[in-house]
Amino acid sequence: MPSRLHVSGDVTVPGDKSITHRALMFSTAAVGESRLRGLLPGEDCRSTASVLRALGCDVPGLPADGGEIRVTGRGIGAWTEPAAWLDCGNSGTTARLMMGLLAGRPFTCTLTGDDSLRGRPMRRITGPLARMGARFREAGAPGCLPIEVSGGPLQSIDYVSPKASAQIKSAVLLAGLGAGVPVSVTEPMLSRDHTERILGALGETVATEDAEGGVRITLAPSGRPLPPLRMEVPGDPSSAAFLVALALLAEDGELRIRNVCINPTRTGFFRLVERMGARIAMENARTAGGEPVADLVVGPARLRGIGVGAGEVPDAIDEIPMLAVLAARAEGETRITGAGELRVKETDRIAAVAGNLRTLGVEAEELEDGMIVRGTDRPLAGRVQAFHDHRIAMAFGVLGAQPGNAVEIDHPEVVDVSFPGFWELLRGVSGG
Ligand code: S3P
């Protein structure tokens, strides 16, 4: 292990996970041949592909190198009742967005998933979809998968969502699209808007406007068949966040991460670490696949603790574990609040991060809706648990790349859910 962490490299990260799920769903709901490049070949997106295949759609394997695939869609009306349960694996986005699309189909099917997914709350989705007319039967723990979905004609809804959640919003929008009925969702603040962007690119009318209680998103489906997509999926900012964090912890060097999606609903982590003292240059800004994209250039920084409140959480929701781990290397205290949703992600990410930090000798205190982390420059050592959560494994993997630390991770392979090749890339850009 070198005694100094030097970062260098000109790298790309795999395609965006949220956009990949949606690109696959929309291209199978469209009529004609879609051409998709840069899809994430991670396990979560493979779950979406296999669920769509089980519904009779022709979806080729997702190439490991992000090369082009062609998906021939026959319209959502051509989806057929599956012969077996639909296994969404570890992927909440697969389960929740598919529920929206399945709500309007005239057949019955059952969605399930792995142990983690079968413990995650689904009534936030089945609630509004049931109000539209779909029927659900819970076959597992209350509110959880496996859930049988009996779809059919749906009615319109103006749904006021208690959370800024793209999964809730997208499920309702996709249900409206699939059933051909107008829908609106009001959320407390705008959650990631990839569904709306793709709908707009496919010629559907989606309006986003400020409204009482937050932001209202309205879809009035045209009723026309969806045209095929041409899409180059940009790099995932949630994956780039781990490399940015590594560069911040380095002693010298600079990292360039090309082709990262910089949609403002996804870049909260970059804004938060800038407040901690980082400088991240966004170069070569352009638009690709209907999304703003740029190359990120980042080097080491002296970090200081910050306060993070509820209004900043949705845009950084998947990156809070990395932020909290970085806080262990910042000067002073970092206090994260308004992040209770972290308790119902792939694992309880508040308990997982705080517990692992304490295992390594960092002072970390759990709050009901967040945590307090006190920075230290002591060497950190211990065996941490990933809890089968990809982002927990990667966040602690970054800390483990710092010379002097000895961080062992129980299940490093879980990174394949969203970032195949993570460990190789981490080693490749870290040097002495
Ligand atoms: C996602 C939305 C977010 C995020 C998840 C992906 C999506 O979940 O945490 O990783 O693709 O729509 P919520 O909608 O529950 O906030």
Query: What confidence score (pLDDT) does residue 1 get?
Result: 45
Q: Residues 116, 122, 125, 129: is their CA dihedral positive or negative? A: positive
The answer to whether residue 227 is domain-embedded is no
- Which residue puts its alpha carbon closest to atom 13 of ligand 1? 165
Mutational pocket test of ligand 1: of 16, 18, 194, the residue with most ligand atoms within 8 Å of the beta carbon: 18
Q: Which residues contact 427 (CB under 8 A, 6 or more apart)?
A: none
- Of the pLDDT bands very low, low, confident and very high (cuts 50, 70, 90), residue 208 is very high
Query: What's the CATH code of the domain at 180?
Result: 3.65.10.10
Backbone torsions φ then ψ of 41, nearest 5 degrees = -90, 30
Question: What is the rounded CA–CA span in Å between residue 10 and residue 243?
Answer: 11
Report the atom number in ligand 1 closest to the C-alpha of 170. Answer: 12
Query: What confidence score (pLDDT) does residue 2 get?
Result: 53
Report the atom number in ligand 1 closest to the C-alpha of 167. Answer: 14
Q: For residues 309 and 263, state if they share a domain.
A: yes
Query: What confidence score (pLDDT) does residue 432 get?
Result: 59
Question: What is the rounded CA–CA span in Å between residue 122 and residue 120?
Answer: 6
Q: Mean pLDDT across the chain, nearest whole number?
A: 97
More confident residue, 3 or 57: 57
The answer to whether residue 123 is domain-embedded is yes
The answer to whether residue 224 is domain-embedded is no
Q: For residues 395 and 416, state if they share a domain.
A: yes
Residue closest to 388 by CA, chosen among 361, 423, 349, 357: 349
How many structural domains compose the chain?
A: 2
Q: For residues 10 and 29, state if they share a domain.
A: no
Question: What is the rounded CA–CA span in Å between residue 163 and residue 186?
Answer: 9
- Which residue puts its alpha carbon closest to atom 11 of ligand 1? 18
Helices (H), 141-267: 166-179, 194-201, 237-249
- Which residue puts its alpha carbon closest to atom 4 of ligand 1? 318
Determine whether 114 is an active site residue.
no
Secondary structure (3-state) at 291:
strand
Q: For residues 160 and 283, state if they share a domain.
A: no
What is the per-residue pLDDT across 146-199, written as a single tens digit (0 to 9) for each? 999 999 999 999 999 999 999 999 999 999 999 999 999 999 999 999 999 999
What is the per-residue pLDDT across 126-144, written as a single tens digit (0 to 9) for each? 999 999 999 999 999 999 9
- Of the pLDDT bands very low, low, confident and very high (cuts 50, 70, 90), residue 289 is confident
User: Considering 44, 315, 318, 416, which one is annotated as catalytic?
Assistant: 318
The answer to whether residue 50 is domain-embedded is yes
Question: What is the rounded CA–CA span in Å between residue 359 and residue 381?
Answer: 8
Q: For residues 210 and 246, state if they share a domain.
A: no
Secondary structure (3-state) at 282:
strand
Q: For residues 163 and 302, state if they share a domain.
A: no
DSSP 8-state code for residue 82:
-
Q: 350 lies in which domain range?
A: 6-14+234-430
Q: For residues 271 and 202, state if they share a domain.
A: no
Overall average pLDDT of the 396-415 stretch = 97
